[in-house]
Amino acid sequence: MNKTPALLLLCLLLAGPLVGADEAETQFNFATGLLIKNEHALAADEFETLLQKHPGFAQADVACYRLGEARQKAGQAEAAQQAFERLLKEFPASERAPQAHYWLGQLKAKADPAAAAAHYAAILEKWPENPIAEAAAYGAAENHFKAGNWAAAIASCDALLKRFPGGEQAPNALYTRGWAAFQAQQWELARASFEELVKRAPESPLAEVARGKTAESLHRLGRLDEALARYAELSPRDNETGRASAIGRATLLFERGDARAAAQAFEEVAGRLAGDARRPACLLNAGHAWYATNDFVRAAAAFDLLTREHPQDTLAPVAGYWLGQAQLRSGDAAKAVATLTPLLGQAALQEAHGFDLRLLLAEAQMARQAYAEAAQAYAAARQAQPGHRLAPEAWMGELAALEKAGRLDAAEQTAAAFLAALPNHARAAEMRFWLGEFRFRRQAYAEADEALAAFLGASPKHALAPEALYKRGWCARHGGQHEAAGAHFKALFTQWPKHPLAAEAALRAGQAAEARQQQAQALDAYRQARALAPDSETAEQAWMAGTVILLGKGAAQEALATASEFVAQRPKSPLLPYAQLYRAEALSQLKRIDEALQAYQSPALQQEATVQEATFGAAWCLDRLQRPAEAAAAYEKVAAAGKGRAAEAAYLAARAREQAKEYDRARQAYAQLAASEAQPPARRDEAAYREAHCAWQAKDAEGAVRGYTALLAQRAGSPLAAQALYDLAWVLLEQEKQTDAEARFQELATRFPTNALAADVQFRLGELAYARNDFAAAAAAYEAALKHPGLTFAGEVRYKLGWTYEQLKRPDDAIACFARLAETDPKGERAPEARYRQARLLQEAGRHDQALAVLAGIQEGAFAEHAALLKAESLRATNRQREALEAYDHLLKTWPEGSFRLAAQLGRAHSLRAVGAHRDALEAYAAVAAAAPGENAAQATLGQGYCHYALQQWDEAAKAFLKVDILYGYENLKKEALTQLVQTWEKAGDADKAARYRNELAQRYPEKP
């Protein structure tokens, strides 16, 4: 077919004289002048500006048309197309509309011949008298032909022949119609067209081809005898007819399947057609015939000969296409690409081979691993002929090429476009999977899951269904939907247990269960993974994951057995070190620390994958074995590696140094921790605190003070600030800086009134005040301490508060305080003493019955003897001497060597004397006097005097009273003894002695006025 004639530029006329023209006309004329001078780009810009500024310009349609011309001449095809389309839309009645259609036909012919044909057809339909109508009519036919719309091409040819039966395009129309009919397999029409062509234009260059096509039409009509007869009749002739018949003969041979003979026949006739237009076709057919024999080298030679000798022939592009085919099939993809690429611009090739050409180019690019270029070619193929039967395959090819090129975003768009265009295609299900796959790869998990769910919903038994379930599991996992993830993975390994992904799906199901804290389900899934692929790496991973669960839930014995089994059965596994590590962990959980340490230190664990955890575990064991220095060294190795648990290990190393009492090294380590950005803020605070604490432990009081002070200044908001203040106060106390210490305690109480240390601080403030005899301040501090709820040492505070109240002469408060202590902490260490002191204060206040009631509750413990004595004393003080004697006897029997034995004996003697048992009393007093020379002896001697006095043994009584005065230095007893001595001599009738001692008494103890 001949190419549609190009539209000639019409004479460009200016809008009018420049002189006096308005702005729009001036700009129009200027733009036209630029166009005349071939300043196409400048002209286009001027026309564009004119139309924008003056849309109502009288010749706007002409400006719009010339804008299109200028854009086209400037090589701006798309912009030109937009201009011409604008003309048709905004100025449909313009005289330039036919030319605009014609331009659009030419501009669209390559990319969209159907659209181009529509523009050409519009000219003939609307402006049949226009000079370009005939050329347009042929353009419509030609572009319908290019678009593969044979019926439309035939109809266009018919219309041309009817309207312009004698026109210059009539032979072309007949020729094109013959070809279109031929392509549409309307052989009779083809025969008639070609014969009519011969009749109408026997001298036309096309007539020779028409004769050959006539014979071929007969051939296609099945009128083989006629065709063969024609071939036989014409072949011997050394003219056009003969050569055409020779071609027909070769063709018939080819169709009968005698490809080799046909190839030779085509080559023979091609040799007869030197300079003949049909020579290219013969060479092409020769190439096809050789191609059919799979002799791609000879086929390529034929195609190559055609393209070299006849580069301008209409068949040259087709030959180029087949040359590329032959080169690709012969294994030379690079040559194929080089051959095919230039053909993309061959318009004549596009109608019949546009799709195949691009598809072939794509295959060649794939063969040479030029995947991006292959994807472009696949896309171009389906865009050239979207309705081509192989368009879906081109889409799939494009998808594969984009994937291999790493352009997953474009691959995803391709999959989506396929589904939008071909939702019911046989490969739509597969494409749905790929849509989900590419979304998955770009981590758009929600969108990926949606696509994969649609795929599974439509094709639950598809071969890709297991992989879709697998990816849905991962989508859910990435979205934190662990229950859904587990369900997808479980569906995979239960429905497709033999699928290669089944074992891994079970592994992932276990991980999903773990994420949901469902350890039992996780263990079951891991066991499934092991059962599905027992010899796989996945099984080993599941094995180890199950072991970790056992360790996590404290099933150390089972974990030990599992890990040991792995070690025994998988000695070559890359996971072996982990199994040995978990075995060591199980041993440590079982408190088999020595064995665990040995396992952690085994050479097998001293490799990169496990050495950090193993060293950490060894350090932990050493710590538990009370080997802190060794533990510290191990932790330091982990910390030095700078990865994994390095930060934690650095902290534990410092702690271990502290436990080993290596305070200097611990302080250095804590200082580094406090300054390290790698440590969490809380640990940095603690490190600063412990650095100061280690200084304190090392007896470096000044260093401790500096450390605590720095912490309080630099980390005022630290949770450890209160503890630092507390420790600092104690350090100051140890330095005997009570005032400074008290200030720190007071600061703590003020800044941190609700801190756990606040109660203790108040107690310490009370102690300091008590020590300096500021009992009022002490009482206030103790009382403040007791106001803190949940005070664990309230008994001690009340104990000291009771003592303080005694010092303040507040016996009632002291009594209440001691009573409260005993009531709130009846089993406490201070409770017995508190009851005793309560009773003693009650006794001192003369409240003996209350005292006795309290003392009744003190039957055992450290103060039971105290209580027994106090009870006896209260009974004696209230003149219940018989009960007192029983109480004294109980005490002496229960504590025969007790601390209050002499006091009890003395009190017993007093009670015996009180009930008149003077002789028994004398014996009891004698025992006391003989046991100790102190005040008890003086009291006992005085008591003896009273007994002798009662027995009227005046001399013995006098001696006893004199002993008290002479032998003992207790003034309170001396005065009493002298007084009784005076009375004794008076009773004895010795007035002189009575008078003498009366005078001595008066002199030594004069009565106060």
Output the 3-class SS for 741-752.
Answer: HHHHHHHHHHHC
Q: Note whether 187 and 303 are same-domain residues.
A: no
Non-local CB neighbours of 227 within 8 Å, separated by 6+ positions: 215, 216, 218, 219, 248, 252
Query: Which residues lie closer than 8 Å to 473 by C-beta, 6 or more apart?
Result: 485, 486, 488, 489, 492, 505, 508, 509, 512
Residue 40 is assigned to a structural domain of this protein: yes
Nearest to residue 352, comparing CAs of 185, 191, 149? 149
Q: Measuring CA to CA, which residue among 443, 423, 369, 360 is closest to residue 400? A: 369
Residue 472 in any domain: the answer is no
- Please name which of 324, 390, 389 lies closest in space to residue 361, comparing C-alpha atoms: 324
Instruction: For residue 165, count CB atoms less than 10 angstroms from its CB and return exposed for 0-12, middle for 13-18, buried for 19 or more.
Output: exposed
Q: Where are the beta strands (DSSP E) in 5-141?
A: none
At 838, list the tokens: 């309560």
Together in a domain, 28 and 173: yes
Is residue 669 domain-resident? no
Site of tokens 């799906």: 505
Instruction: Note the pLDDT of residue 278.
Output: 81
Q: Which residue has the tokens 């104990």?
A: 799
User: Is residue 159 a contact partner of residue 137, using CB atoms and an 8 Å limit?
Assistant: yes
Per-residue confidence (pLDDT) for residue 243, from 0 to 100 = 79
Distance in angstroms (rounded) separating the CA atoms of residues 308 and 297 = 16
Find the helix or strand (DSSP H, E) in which 541 lies: helix 537-552
> Same domain, yes or no, for 122 and 243?
no
Do 66 and 181 have their domain in common?
Answer: yes
760 lies in a domain?
A: no
Cα gap 335→328, rounded to integer Å: 8
HSE (side-chain half, CA atoms, 13 Å) at 195: 11
**What distance in Å separates the CA atoms of residue 601 and residue 591, rounded to the nearest whole number?**
16
- What's the pLDDT score for residue 8? 46
Pair (296, 194) in one structural domain: no
Distance CA 802, CA 810 (A): 9
Looking at 343, 369, 395, the residue that finishes a domain is: 343
CB burial of 744-772 (b: ≥16 within 10 Å; e: otherwise) equals: bbbbbbeebeebebbbbbbbbbbbbbbee
Among 210, 240, 267, where does a domain finish?
Answer: 210
- Where the chain has pLDDT below 50, the residues are 8-21
- pTM of the entire structure? 0.52
The reply to whether 166 and 289 lie within a common domain is no
Dist CA 349 CA 261 (whole Å): 27
The structure tokens listed for 74 are 């400037």
Kindly state the DSSP code that residue 536 receives in the 8-state scheme. Answer: S
Domain of residue 164, CATH code: 1.25.40.10
Which two three-digit tokens encode residue 891?
């005490």
Distance CA 335, CA 23 (A): 58
- Residue 967: partners with Cβ closer than 8 Å, 6 or more residues away: 938, 941
Q: What is the DSSP string of 620-668?
A: HHHHHTT-HHHHHHHHHHHHHHTSTTHHHHHHHHHHHHHHTT-HHHHHH
- pLDDT recorded at residue 751: 92
Spatial distance between the Cα atoms of 115 and 133, rounded to a whole number of angstroms: 17
Length, in residues, of the chain: 1009
Q: Is 267 contained in some domain?
A: yes
pLDDT at 1009: 58
- How many CB atoms lie under 10 A from the CB of residue 82? 15
- Answer whether residue 98 is part of any domain: yes
How many domains does one find in the chain? 2
Neighbour count for residue 900 (Cβ, 10 Å): 19
pLDDT of res. 609: 85
User: CA-to-CA distance for 884 and 874, rounded, in angstroms?
Assistant: 8
Residue 620's φ and ψ, nearest 5 degrees, are: -60, -45
Residue 162 CB: number of other CB atoms within 10 A? 10
Quick one: tokens of 590? 């079982």
Do residues 179 and 245 both lie within one domain? Answer: no
206 and 63 both lie in a single domain: yes
Same domain, 91 and 120: yes
Q: Could you tell me if residue 129 is inside a domain?
A: yes
Residues 198 and 81 in one domain: yes
Tell me which of 210, 241, 260 is where a domain ends: 210
Q: Are residues 247 and 199 in the same domain?
A: no
Name the residue with tokens 């259609």: 101
- 3: which DSSP letter? P
Q: Could you tell me if residue 305 is inside a domain? A: yes
Distances (CA, A) of 611 to 547, 580, 583, 600, 634: 19, 11, 14, 9, 11
Give the whole-angstrom CA distance, residue 454 versus residue 472: 11
Examine the domain organization and report whether 168 and 275 are in the same domain. no
How many angstroms separate the Cα of 572 from the Cα of each of 308, 463, 547, 754?
65, 35, 18, 60
Q: Containing domain of residue 251, as a range?
A: 231-343
Q: Look at the block and give the residue holding tokens 């002209």.
A: 43
Collapse the DSSP code of 570 into the 3-class scheme (helix H, G, I; strand E, B; otherwise coil) and give the result: coil
Q: Which residues of 570-601 are buried (b: 16+ CB within 10 A; e: fewer)?
A: beebebbbbbbbbbbbbbbbeebbebbbebbb
